Amino acid sequence: MQGKYHRAYEEKQMVRAINLVKKKKWSRRKAAKLCGVPESSLRFQLKNNKGGKFDSSLGRPSLIPHEEERMLKDHIIHLAKLGYPLTRSDVLQIATQTAVFLKVKEDPSHLLSQHWLNGFLSRWPELKVVRPSKLGMKRAKAITKESISKYFNELNNILIKYELKDKPHLIFNVDETGFNFEHRPTKVVAPRGIKVNAITTDKGAMTTILAAGNAVGYAIPPYFIFKGKHMIERLKAGAYPGSGFEMTSSGWSNGEVFINYIENHFSKYLPVRDPNQHILLLYDGHTSHISMNLINYALSKKIILFVLPPHSSHLLQPLDVGTFKPLKDFYHHECQTYMRKNPGQVITRYEVCQLISKAYLKAFTPSNLIASFRKSGIFPYNKDVIDEHHFLGDALRPKVPGNPPDTPAANSDYRKFLDDLLPQPKPIETKKRKVGYRPGGVAITEEKIILKIKKVIQDQESVNKKKINLNSLKRNPHMKNWIQAHLRSQR
């Protein structure tokens, strides 16, 4: 096994010795003695580096030559940016096949060791072993440079038009998230060699909260949505001060609930402002969150409803970016604490409210909310906040695959081998469905967007009326026979 090497001199000492021999024609012994470097090391540098440059690598040379390693590293980075990262096992298999191809290894059945992989990662510090986050194909395809740029331009126009760039207390985000009784156990201290179990509660009914906060760190109390028909006071036990409550058949939000939330809960916690000053509210564009009743109410209260681009909340929605994860983590911790303090008991719908409220108090802090708006580029406004490696949608568009960036066409034999071994992921082509206008990345309270939404609603109402009329005709047996005969004649 290759050991660790420690150089007894500095790089500048060796460079000086090389220059004395090359330029001033000193002897190796004299130059080595004057510069304080081993004569054997100076001899090696002079013999193996004809250009007179200092080779800073220590110990034996790596199995795979430097240039081929660099190309392999570039390809690994390229695949990771496309959303297809390689595991440690993948890298070892590819490196082994590379070594066989370069004829520096004979047996392909024996993979290179973990020790080689550790050395490879140390030689290329831009690579690191990490646990990737899950990302659905819809989200991956939705995030393109064009869509993000268009969103930030539209957001900038709204901020300028309504003079909100320097008013973070008037910029809000609202989002919903669900909880069930089953919690994720946190890490515990336990004896070595023993598998430890943590008792949890079965999933049970879903409880949803609508949460909101602004760019200066002010959190609006949560709005709880329980599953059921009739409100039970016990469900509210231990609630966060000022919380709102509602019941639905599923425990999830819907269009009616969202309007109730905006009108009766969100609005009453808004800061006092000049009557002509607008509030900006950013939220996702779920169909249940867009209606003319909501738009008309928002216009009357000078609330700008800005719908985020579809499938982009993990990057652009402040609460998703920096607040909901700690909220869920704190909730799981509170559940585990409750189970430990109440052995033999399970979490029921009557404990969920207080557990969520405790987590909400810890997660929706001013520092978390401020950081969330900053990371999503909303305040301070920053159109370049999204790193280019997130633009997977551009990579997944149908196109002819090419070489990874910054990889020269030279060394073509190894490049061809690498491309055959690690083929470029083929973009997934899906059939596009015809859908009506769905606003995204725009303020739906602007006049031009309202006109589009009204047209969509009118068209949908017209389609629904035709369906109703056709269904009523089909129920009449005489008309049913006539319709079938008419359809046959049209073929």
Domain ranges of the chain: 1-61, 62-132+398-438, 137-387, 446-489
Give the SS3 label for residue 174. strand
Give the SS3 label for residue 176. strand
Q: In what order do the strands lie in the sheet containing 219-227? A: 244-248, 219-227, 207-214, 171-179, 279-283, 303-307, 442-443
Average pLDDT per block of 10 residues along the chain, 491 residues long = 61 84 85 88 75 56 82 80 76 86 84 88 85 57 75 94 95 94 66 63 79 97 94 94 94 90 96 91 78 90 92 88 95 89 86 96 97 96 82 50 47 72 55 58 87 79 63 55 53 50
Cα–Cα distance, 152 to 172 (Å, whole number): 16
Q: What is the rounded (10 degree) CA torsion for 228, 231, 237, 243?
A: 100
Instruction: Tell me the backbone φ, ψ of residue 197, rounded to 5 degrees.
Output: -105, 145
> How many residues does this entry show for the chain?
491
Cα–Cα distance, 328 to 142 (Å, whole number): 26
- CA distances for 173 relative to 26, 215, 298, 379, angstroms: 72, 8, 15, 12
Beta carbons within 8 Å of 180's beta carbon, 6+ residues apart: 203, 204, 205, 206, 207
Q: Do domains 1-61 and 137-387 have the same CATH topology?
A: no
pTM beyond 0.85: the answer is: no
CB atoms within 10 A of CB 9: 15
Give the pLDDT score at 407. Answer: 45
Beta carbons within 8 Å of 441's beta carbon, 6+ residues apart: 147, 150, 151, 154, 155, 307, 308, 309
Beta carbons within 8 Å of 469's beta carbon, 6+ residues apart: none
CATH assignment, 137-387? 3.30.420.10
- CA distances for 63 relative to 68, 83, 96, 192, 421, angstroms: 10, 29, 10, 38, 19
Sole residue written with tokens 């009329």: 469
DSSP 115: H
Sole residue written with tokens 């079938």: 484
| CA R_g for the chain | 32
Cα–Cα distance, 15 to 54 (Å, whole number): 6
Give the pLDDT score at 219. Answer: 97
- 270 residue type, one letter: L
Sole residue written with tokens 């420690």: 6
Cα–Cα distance, 176 to 136 (Å, whole number): 19
For residue 408, cis peptide bond before it (omega within 30 degrees of 0): no
Give the SS3 label for residue 164. coil
Cα–Cα distance, 182 to 184 (Å, whole number): 7
Helices 412-421 and 88-101, packing angle to 10 deg:
140
Sole residue written with tokens 């681009």: 309
CB atoms within 10 A of CB 160: 11
* Conformational region of residue 41, where left means phi above 0, alpha means psi within -120 to 50, and beta covers everything else: alpha
Strand-pair category, 279-283 with 219-227: unpaired
Give the pLDDT score at 225. Answer: 96
- Asked whether the beta carbons of 441 and 309 are under 8 A apart, the reply is yes
Written as six digits, the tokens of 457 are 């609603």
Q: What top-level class would CATH report for the domain 1-61?
A: mainly alpha
DSSP 218: P
Give the pLDDT score at 390. Answer: 61
